[in-house]
Amino acid sequence: EEVLGFAVEEGSRIRIKAVVEEEEGICCCGNRGDLVRESFVFEPLSEDSLALWSQKLRDYIDSLGRPKRLLIFLNPFGGKKSATKIFSEDVKPYLEDADIQITVIETKHQLHAKEVAKTMDLSKYDGIVCVSGDGILVEVVNGLLEREDWSAAINMPIGMVPAGTGNGMVKSLLHAAGEPCCVSNAILAVIRGYKHSLDVATISQGKTRFFSVLMLAWGLIADIDIESEKYRWMGSARLDFYVCPFMLSGFLLCAYIIAAIQRIFHLRHYNGRICFVPAPGFEDYGEPMSYHCKPTDEESPKQEESLKTQQHGYLGSDVKFEDMHWRTISGPFVSVWLHNVPWGSEDVMAAPNAKFSDGYLDLIMVKGLPKLALLSMMSNMNDGSHVESPYVTYIKVKAFILEPGTRVEDPTKEGIIDSDGEVIARGNVTYKGNQKPLMAYDKVQITVDQGLATLFAPK
């Protein structure tokens, strides 16, 4: 566990390159302290012994199935724009110690990583590593699933190193293993080569599809996530800051605090409806309904069948919605939040019961929430206890339909549908973004494919 690699040096010496807990010696019980790189040198007494030691060490390390060739995506624009420094100072030395060959690609624009993942020669690599926030991971997964050979491509293991705004996926992985969310633990998870399967959600509207690995939000959480983009320089603290400024120290600018208070005390409520297939144990939530879905004018059954034969890439689950037992809940809603993993960012445990590959999404729904209760709920999001609020419904679902509506307070305005930190649909709202949304502000369907993707993860 502690050994990264080794090198044979002049003078018949072998240098073992390892990680140790600072001032604690070799880590025998997991990564519980601050890790530092260290080396240990020994000198066999003969040339034969040196050759034998070298061969045995190499054979053993090779037997562990660790990656030897990695493609690194580096996002120099994410979060506090520190990814380049993090890579050069904190990531690259570990990879060099482990004698891993790397190819580094700095992303130049949005969807750059997706374009590369969609066309790359997979045979050249044993894995992909994203030194970034969660956005590059999402791009890579979408790129792999849009390939003609998607069924093989999606088995490519993906690693995460926290260097962005949210870092929810790597936080979830490391927290599940009882390890702090830091760069050294994240890159060690990649080097050691352990893997974990990950559910992938397919969000569809007609023939348009988007593959999600983190979350989908509509209402309060989506508004906060997207409208706080102007504070992205603050990193993951921007979410806490925007929804609960009282949690942060008083040196922050008053203008930001005013904006945050305005969002809470001018709370929006949204008309609409959600439909879902509950996981076992959650069948009593909502009201029963029958699933009826007529093809749109632009997508008849024949056109849909033709699409499946012509379009490359993964088209989503083959599950038949009409064969499932559906329930429904109508608005108004304050927030609807679907989560695939426990943490939404390093500071927000959105769905404390979420699992990486259980085949379900965790639904966190808020209705009828007084403003003071909202302040209390938001302050509890760092440990997941917000789901215990009487105003929160927290269940697991297998499939989901969102039918978004207008704001109760102003029916001329609508909302934002946010998936994995990006706007996928924008209604008639005050917030204006630069990117054209992928979908219309209308009904979207979500299904879950259990364990479809693969991540490098701590043991």
Do residues 135 and 256 both lie within one domain?
A: no
Tell me which residue range forms the domain holding 252: 208-293+314-451
pLDDT in tens, 173-203: 999 999 999 999 999 999 999 999 999 999 9
The count of domains in the chain is: 3
- Domain assignment present for 306: no
**More confident: 1 or 217:** 217
**More confident: 235 or 12:** 12
Residue 154: pLDDT band (50, 70, 90) is: very high
Terminal alpha carbon distance of the chain: 10
pLDDT at 24 exceeding the cut of 60 = no
pLDDT in tens, 254-283: 333 444 456 677 789 999 999 999 999 999
Do residues 249 and 375 both lie within one domain?
A: yes
DSSP H helices, 266-408, are 301-310, 371-379
Mean pLDDT of 35-59: 92
Mean pLDDT of 335-352: 94
DSSP H helices, 353-444, are 371-379
pLDDT at 285 exceeding the cut of 60 = yes
Do residues 55 and 70 both lie within one domain?
A: no
Mean pLDDT of 338-348: 93
> Cis peptide leading into 370, omega within 30 of 0?
no
Mean pLDDT of 236-242: 45
Final residue belonging to a domain, choices 193, 225, 250: 193
Final residue belonging to a domain, choices 164, 193, 222: 193
Quickly count: other Cβ atoms within 10 Å of residue 129's Cβ. 30
Catalytic residues: 134
Give the model's pLDDT for residue 400.
96
CATH number of 380's domain: 2.60.200.40
Do residues 288 and 331 both lie within one domain?
A: yes
How does strand 158-162 pair with strand 127-132? parallel
pLDDT in tens, 305-324: 434 434 678 988 777 778 88
C-beta of residue 338 within 8 angstroms of C-beta of residue 444: no
